[in-house]
Homo-oligomer: A and B are copies of this chain.
Amino acid sequence: MVRMSAEERRESVIRAAITEFSRGGYNGTSTEAIAKRVGVSQPYLFRLFPGKQAIFLAAAQRCCQDITKVFQRASEGAEGEEAVQCMGDAYQALIAEDPEKLLMQMQIYVAVAAAEAVGDREFGESLRAAWMEMYDVVGLATGADAGETTWFLAYGMLINVLVSMGFKQDHRVWVGFHEATQSQEADKE
């Protein structure tokens, strides 16, 4: 058993929480499962965080930040359509190497809806703010073209959904997506 500072532990908890919550969702994930993955006793989580929701929130914010950073780095130095292309490539790479971030996104969306349904306003507010950062980074890259930003995010959301639903790469639902990529490339010429 390795001893760590509370701050380092919180870090590992957040990483473990992303993995677990992305699979099971908020209600389908026990704090026990997270603790096991961290390699720490379950009650100790409540020393590091005030409660389960706080763990989810931290994991969700981290996840949004990570994706935001991916877009930020990918679009650095580029502008307009070229930047969009770079971000698209970066997102596809992210799917391949880190699918849990993508699933976590979906979990965030339904968690906000659930929180809102029971009158918990603050939770959703925090996550909308995190999401807006991502939105604005994409917006900046497209040269503040709201239509193009929306287009980009829409395709991203469809990808999230298709991956969540478990459609394999060679399934026909992906065909239209490839066409779109090609036609976008065709536009550039």
Counting contact residues on chain A (CB < 8 A from B), the size range is 35 or more
- Residues of chain B within 8 A (CB-CB) of A112 are 164-166
Do B128 and A166 touch (CB < 8 A)?
A: yes
Which residues of A (166-189) have their CB < 8 Å from a CB of B?
A: 166-167, 172-173, 175-177, 179-180, 183
Measured in the bound complex, the distance between the Cα atoms of B172 and A23 in whole Å is: 31
Given contacts A25-B27, A110-B110, A117-B23, is CB(A124)–CB(B165) below 8 Å?
yes
Which residues of A (35-90) have their CB < 8 Å from a CB of B?
A: none
A114 at the interface (CB under 8 A from B): yes
As for how many copies of this chain the complex holds, the number is 2
Do A110 and B147 touch (CB < 8 A)?
A: no
Q: In angstroms, how far is the closest chain B Cβ from the Cβ of A43? A: 22
Q: In angstroms, how far is the closest chain B Cβ from the Cβ of A173? A: 6
Do A128 and B167 touch (CB < 8 A)?
A: yes
A93 at the interface (CB under 8 A from B): no
Measured in the bound complex, the distance between the Cα atoms of B184 and A77 in whole Å is: 30
Residue among A103, A106, A149, A176 facing the most chain B CB atoms (10 A cut-off): A176
Do A109 and B165 touch (CB < 8 A)?
A: yes
Measured in the bound complex, the distance between the Cα atoms of B107 and A149 in whole Å is: 25
Which of the residues B28, B127, B175 comes within 8 Å of A26, measured between beta carbons?
B28
Rank and list the top 10 A-B pairs by shortest CB-CB distance, nearest first. Answer: A150-B176, A146-B176, A27-B27, A147-B179, A154-B158, A27-B28, A154-B154, A157-B157, A23-B117, A109-B164
With A24-B117, A127-B165 already in contact, 14 other A-B pairs whose C-beta atoms are closer than 8 Å = A23-B113, A25-B27, A25-B114, A27-B27, A103-B110, A106-B106, A106-B109, A112-B165, A113-B165, A146-B176, A147-B176, A148-B176, A149-B176, A154-B154
